[in-house]
Amino acid sequence: MVKSILNKTNLSKEDITILLNSEGDNRIELLRKSAEIKEKQVGNKVYLRGLIEYSNVCAKNCYYCGIRKDNKNVTKYTISDREVIDAARFAYRNNYGSLVLQSGEIQSNAFADKIETLLKQIKKVSDNQLGITLSCGEQTEEVYQRWFDAGAHRYLLRIETSNKELYERLHPKDTLHNWDKRVECLYTLKKTGYQTGTGVMVGLPFQTIEDLAGDLLFMQQLDIDMCGLGPYIEHKHTPLYQYKNELIPLKKRFDLTMKMIAVLRIIMEDINIAATTALQVIDKIGREKIIKVGANIIMPNITPGEFRDSYSLYQNKPCTDESMEDCKNCLEARIKIAGCKIEYGNWGDSLHYRKSQEARASGNRLLVP
Ligand code: 5AD
Ligand code: SF4
Ligand code: FES
């Protein structure tokens, strides 16, 4: 059954559900197929994105997240401009190729202005070389455009779950937390010209395997360029913690995440897929395992050490005690062990994005008389 599904060109929700449920030899077959496609499409290259967790101030109250507005147990911080620039310099000096500026979600003019200024400064100190991905939540089209014009070229906005009803159970019911709006933002990002990424959490309370299959089809339908998906890790100071006994065990959550990445690589062969940090919470060599199976992006943390503990979306976050330098060396060794090689000094755009750009360009040419 699994073998015949793996030979199909278009997978249905039922097919994907079967793949996500696969065990034993079938599971191995799935992972093997994905690794084979990865090898063919992206080879053994791994691209780095230095991750700057700019601020843990967030206006939202997602029930799963440790830095939600109402969690008073976490010290709020915003990194100074100087520290952001220093981290960018570190990424540039060390040939990371690109960085990610991530923060809680704030929709204000002051925040939009601040990010715009930082983008311009990062571009300046890196001689226009560093690529910049933003992950700063839902914003207006105008703000997305301003940030794009200031130098950001990729944007990550996780849909969290493609099932609207499930989304509504995981968020307060108000205008700030609106699934339709979030989807609209993803389309706006694409329209603005960003390489657009989304992602989900795996193993959420109330989530079914069919939901996860739907998540993968959602990504395919949206025709995303990149994806960051990871296991849900319960956090003590969040409302969702009350369901901790109803969750699937951590090991299973990890395995399910691995299968999700495998199926995603199979149905979207040439996109960029990140091995997210949350994987390492469950398995010390989790990210490496995922790289072997299908991921090709790693985001080493380059947030100044003193703040790393406070960006606690989930508990037991790794790499919070290491300096940027230590983390870099550790990562390099890890990737080598996974049989892969870091591709330094490269933006590492997804082939998927490049191909769609080329297609658009040749389409435009056809329109010219
Ligand atoms: N476990 C795993 N991932 C989480 N995120 C937020 N809270 C958790 C959690 N408890 C993820 C969300 C968000 C990203 C920045 O972090 O998917 O989009
Ligand atoms: Fe804010 Fe994102 Fe956390 Fe939601 S998941 S509370 S938007 S940081
Ligand atoms: Fe960060 Fe090892 S990867 S310390």
Q: Confirm whether 341 is domain-assigned.
A: yes
Q: Give, using CA atoms, the residue closest to atom 1 of ligand 3.
A: 327
DSSP code per residue over 128-153: T-SEEEEE-----HHHHHHHHHTT--
Beta strands in the chain (DSSP E): 45-48, 50-55, 98-103, 131-135, 154-156, 195-198, 201-202, 226-231, 272-275, 297-298, 341-342
C-alpha gyration radius of the chain: 20
Q: Which ligand is nearest to the CA of 330?
A: 3
pLDDT for 366: 53
**With bands split at pLDDT 50, 70 and 90, how would you rate the model's confidence at 369?**
very low
* Structural domains of the chain, count: 1
Length of the chain: 369
Q: What pLDDT score was predicted for residue 189? A: 98
Which range marks the domain in which residue 169 is found? 44-357
What pLDDT sits at residue 314? 75
Residue 192, pLDDT score: 98
- Comparing C-alpha atoms, which of 205, 222, 239, 192 is closest to residue 68? 239
Which bound ligand lies closest to the C-alpha atom of 286?
3
pTM for this entry: 0.95
- Closest-lying ligand 1 atom to the alpha carbon of residue 160: 17
- pLDDT band for position 254 (cuts 50, 70, 90): very high
Q: Compute the mean pLDDT over every residue in the chain, rounded to the nearest whole number.
A: 93
Tell me whether residue 3 is in a domain.
no
Q: Is 247 in the pocket of ligand 1 (CB under 6 A)?
A: no
pLDDT > 90: percent of the chain? 80
Residues in contact with ligand 2 by the CB-under-6-Å rule are: 58, 60, 62, 65, 67-68, 104-105, 137
Q: By alpha-carbon position, which residue is closest to atom 4 of ligand 2?
A: 62
**pLDDT band at residue 306, thresholds of 50, 70 and 90?**
confident
pLDDT at 368 over 60: no
- Whichever domain contains 68, its CATH number is 3.20.20.70
Rounded mean pLDDT of 301-319?
77
Residue 290 placed within a domain: yes
Cα–Cα distance between 301 and 252 in angstroms, integer? 26
CB of 313 sitting under 6 A from ligand 1: yes
Q: Is the dihedral of CA 87, 307, 231, 223 positive or negative?
A: negative
What pLDDT was estimated at residue 132? 97
Closest residue (by CA) to atom 4 of ligand 3?
327
Distance CA 187, CA 329 (A): 38
pLDDT at 364: 59
Residues touching ligand 3 (Cβ under 6 Å) are 319, 322, 326-327, 330-331
Task: Give mean pLDDT, residues 353-364.
Answer: 80
The whole-number average pLDDT for the span 357-361 is 82
149 within a domain of the structure (yes/no): yes
pLDDT tens digits, residue range 95-110? 999 999 999 999 999 9
Mean pLDDT on 8-35: 97
What is the distance in A from the centroid of ligand 3 to the CA of 116? 30
Nearest protein Cα to ligand 1, atom 18: 158
Select the highest-mean-pLDDT range: 21-35, 292-306, 333-347: 21-35
pLDDT tens readout for residues 256-266: 999 999 999 99
158 lines ligand 1 (CB under 6 A): yes
Residues 6+ apart with CB under 8 A from 225: 154, 195, 196, 197, 271, 272, 349, 350, 352, 353, 356
Average pLDDT on 270-290 reads 92
Q: In one letter, which amino acid is 232?
A: Y
Q: Averaged over 170-176, what is the pLDDT?
A: 97
Q: Is residue 125 assigned to a domain?
A: yes
Of 49, 284, 323, 327, the one to substitute when testing ligand 3's pocket (max ligand atoms within 8 A of C-beta) is 327
Please tell me if the CB atom of residue 65 comes closer than 6 angstroms to any atom of ligand 1.
yes
10 is a domain residue = no
Q: Is residue 366 part of a domain?
A: no
pLDDT at 358 over 80: yes
Instruction: Decide: 37 in ligand 1 pocket, CB within 6 A.
Output: no
In a domain, 38, yes or no: no
